Structures are given as structure tokens and as C-alpha cells.
Structure 1
């Protein structure tokens, strides 16, 4: 005979955590922000936060849930995989979004947790976890793009500090950033072994930033010039000559974020493709998009997108259970770039002339946004390491293929 459960039976740990998250979100997430995610603008442009947005960012930062897997000792959430999954589920249920983002979270923070000394972690990680400091990346140069190891920006040893001279280009968000993590040359006698990883203050004397206008009408990238910039020796991460190792590790974090956050976040942005097609192409007597070929391509795209999203979820869990992202992030980056560009191209085809507007009263705001999104998407297969470079990484580090003379 079955017995009734005891009234004072203990609550399962995850159930208790779910209840905690739900109660906390109800108390802290402003209802006015539901459905108004600004996480992408945090990554890509200036942010003038409303009072509710500022309050939400402060609350998440104080709780540490903006970077839930980071150690509590540095302002993170200290959550395990199961708790992070519950947090994500409850945030989705509440229509909430993570206001803590940017390159500090995506790339620099995880790298500093691996390679930084204790003083550097205490100085920089809590500010990133609270969204108080914006970082930019000083990697590419006019003659060091795909051949990144050819960087020439030089940090001259001047005793207790370095004097940095050189130029970086495609510095994402450089005009809004507070600080920069950069690859610099400290030894001109060797290529890879002469590179070091240095932290620079973007407000220091000698730093000049010039935004670059893009085809999409935005200017998220910059040219950055360093002229006799004084940088304390304490800002060297790792040891001199370890920059290539640290820098390539950071790129794995970047590609992981770009495939799982930057580009993938746009996969399901806007209206579903089927709904968009019916809006602009109409329906047949069975409620379908009349063009059977277009229908098939929409279905194929949706299947690819959803399969990719599930793969990203599995890869993220595997990364947390191991030691962070692997070379497989190059595969994810390439696939994410292809799907993002396919979606933009397909949307433009569906919308026809309405999807090619730049300005004017003849186009809706969504149509003008779609044009710019399509143009912006051309960069997805270039930044974070071009598709060709990722193919090299895949062939060598995953497939084990070596160069043959």
C-alpha cells in the first residue's frame, strides 16, 4: 500500500535553486525590459542605459550571474553546469536577458582566469563581472591580419615599464573601450617567441582611435595608434614571449563566443522565416508559401539552424566539463558564419525590393534593418579569424593533416 509523502521531506537542491532564481528574477528583473534585449548593443556600440537597464545590470553584476561559471572569489556566480542550465531556463521563462557582456566576458576574462596572476585577477575580473569596464582587442595590424604572428607593435623595455609604439586595425569598439588587451612584440629576433600579451589603458597619453566607416553604415571598428604609450610592467600577462600561446587561447574563447553568441544570437532574430515568406510572398490554398523551391530552402535553413543551436549547447556543456573551448570552435565559427549569411541572403530574396532599402518613407524600420543586417553579415566570415584560417586550423589540429612540401 502506497503511503503519502512526508510533509517535511527535504527539497531537492536543484528545485531549491530554481525557486531561488525564480524569486530573485521576480524581485529584480524590471518588467519594462521584457522583450527589449540590449545585449548585442553592449557588445557593438555605445550604451546609454535607462534607469531600469542600469538597475538590472547592477543587480546581475552584484549577484555574479552575468558570468555564472566564474569563481565567486572574483565576482562570478560560482555555479555548476546544472545550476547554469536552471538559471538560463528561468531567465528565458521570465523574458530576462544577460546584461553583462562585451569582450571582457567573451574573451579576456576567461583567458585572464587561466593565465593571469592573482593581483591581475583581483584587479580586472570583478569589474568585468559587474559590467563596469569595457575592453577591446589589439590584435590585427595593417600587415598582420591572417598572419597574426607578424605583429610589429613594439613594447620597449624601459625598466619598470614599457614604451609602446605601433598601430592596430579593426579594433572592435575601440572608441568606447576603457582598456585594451594586445599582442605586442618584445623581441624582434624571433617571430612567435617574440610576442607578449600586454594590457593597455585606452585613456593613456599617446593612444589615438579613428573609427572606420563600414558598408552597413556603422563604425564599430577602429584604427588604433600607440605613440610612446607608457605601460607598467605589472600589465604583462604571463611572461615575455608567451603572448602567442595566450593569444591563441583567447582566440578559442572568441570563436566559441562568436559561434555561440555573436553570430548565433542572430539565427533566430526577427520573424520566423516561414512567417516572413508568407508576409511577402503570400499563401496558396493550403496555407503554404506558393514557391515550392523557396519552401524547401526555408525548411533546409531552419533545420540547419536548429541542429547548429543544439550542437552549440552540447559543445558548451562539454567545454565546461573539460578545460574550456577546443580547436572545434573553428568548426562552430565557420558553420555559424555560413548559417548567419544564408539567413540574411534568404531574407533579402524573400523581401525582394523591400529588402534593399537604405532610407526613405517607402520602407519599414524592419526592412531598413534587414538591409543593414545583410551588409553587416559580410564581415562574419572574416572577423574572429577568416573562414580560410579556420579551415587551416581544422585541417591541422582536428584532422591531423600536415603541410607537405
Structure 2
């Protein structure tokens, strides 16, 4: 470290320790220390000018501070600053925003320190409160007690022209406690108010959420009602359409058989109305033909096994229809007139139903003696009967209500 000594006396006269002191100046931006010899009652202007000249900078580039952070003005003297021989000052760059000094009231600063606050926080409080009064400064400290940035000592200069009265220790402590209590109450009131506002906001948000949920549920309920109504209407239309087709098919079959319909105009001009489940049908007994026996046999097959999958019953009807058609188309070929009852497919589809075997016997098939075949002899191969059987099977396959309604209703 280089120490450069300068004598500020113009004539270089001899100085004594009672009238002169040595002042050390250390720059912020270098390690060199300047030592100046000056009178105790001389103004600091010459020291500042000489230091700036030695550093080769303009006036105002540096701000001079004492060890306690007080700013040194050009009109101050060592006696006013209470500097002793060998005292050191710091030369801080004025352009550094963090080191710009601000004025504080020495009396208020001392009172805050007596209350137990650090000098750094007290200085910041006085600066931000405008050195107005003690209460404002304490409130500022309480509001910023968690801000660590104010723990750093700022640059400051004392306003020595305005001094605050120095109260007694008891009065100071009581006043400090009172101010802290006031600040605490203010914070509690503000926190209570904020909590009340937050609670109101939560209640409002909850109500909005519940209302939105209610509206969504109402829309979903109405949509489900509309869907169910549309499904019922569609189902009713489909059922009515099927019943009209069934009744029309029955009338057509009666015409083919030579049976006269009850009213000729009913089938041509007016659609047949859906069946009324409460309507009572009365039919006169008539001799049963072979075709009616076949039809009743198929009804029994469907009715006795209505709990089974309709597709399985339909497969049985289709298998019987294939056997009957092959026999009717090829009456001279024996392979179409014989069926092995132990055949796996036949047994799964037809053979396991008693009504299926009975229907084949009505068609003319007979079990061969000591054999596992059902055969249709050439004498029993009645083409007309086989065609009637095919017609009954076709009706059972195409009519979705076959065997599920009463016999009178199906013949209507």
C-alpha cells in the first residue's frame, strides 16, 4: 500500500499537534491512501480540491464520508467533524447510486437507536419518512421488518441545524412500545380485512361453481328426457309398422289360400290398426290341416324356448328350411331325403328340440328301423306338403313376433 503525504499549508510553515492534524483519505476505487496535513479550523474544501486534482478528476466526482457514514461538506472543518489526528475518510464515487448520501435528523436517529433499532434501519426509515417524526419512522420500520435489503448501512449526512428534544429513557421506551403496538394493531386490522375479502371471494366463487353445476345438470336432465321420449316414439313407430306388415302378410296369405277376408276394403284402403292387448278373440273350431299342424309345431318350438337367444331359434328354422327345400327340389336324390340325427350340426341346431323332430315327421320324414337316420321315402315325398312346410318356415323366420302372440292374434 502506497501512502502519499501532502501538506495543505500554502507557505509550508511549521505545524504543531495542537493546531494541525493528519487526515487520511482512501479512495473507493484504489488501494492508495492519501495523507493530508491541515489545520483543525480549516475548511475541507482545499482537501477535496487537492484530492480531485491528484486523481485527475473533476469536482464532484467523489463524495467524502467519515467513518460513521456522515457526509463531509466543503464548508466543514475538522473541529466541526470532531476529527482526531490520523482520522480516515472515504472517497466514494458520486455516480454510484447505492452510495448517494441523504440527510437524516441526528436527534431522530439517536432516538431510534435508543429504541433498539439498528442505525442502518433507522437511517432508511428517516430517509423514507422524510425526517418528519418519530412515529412515522417507527411505522416504516415495522412495515419493512422482513426486508433484508435495509440492513445495509446507507450513506448519509446529518442535518445538524435541526435537533430533536432528547426524551428520558423511560419516555423513549414507553413511546417505542406504544408505536409498536399501534403498528401491530394496524397490521392485524389490515390482515383481518384482507382475510374477510378473501372469504367473500371464496363464497362468491363457490356459489358460481354450484350454479354452473346446477345448470349443467339441468341441461343434462332435459337432454336425457328428450332422448328417452325420442326413443319411445321411435320404438312405437317401429312396432306399429311391424304390426301393419304382419297383418298385411296374414291377409295376403289368406287370399292365397282362398280364404275371403272379413272386409275387402279393410286391406286396400284402411291400414290395419295395432292389436289391442285387451281385445278378446273368439274363433270357431275348424278341422286342423297339415299346414296348420306344421305352423303350430313351429309356434310351440318358439314359445317353449322363448328364453333362449332368438338367433339360436332362427338358426333352427333356417336349418329346417334348407332340409325341406333340398328335398322339394331334388326328390329323386336320396342324399337330400336322408338326415343323420347324430350329426353334430343337426343335433346342435334341430335335433335337441323335440318340436324340430316333430316338424320333420309332419313333412313326411320317418326314422329308419335300427338306424340313426330320418328318411323321406319317395312315396311320402309330397311336393305340395314340402312347399307348405317351406312357407311356414319362411313365415316363422321373417315374423319377429312369431310364436310370441296368441294363436288367434297371429291368425287375425
Q: TM-score when scaled to structure 2? A: 0.19
Higher relative contact order (CA 8 A, sep 6+): 1
Q: TM-score when scaled to structure 1? A: 0.19
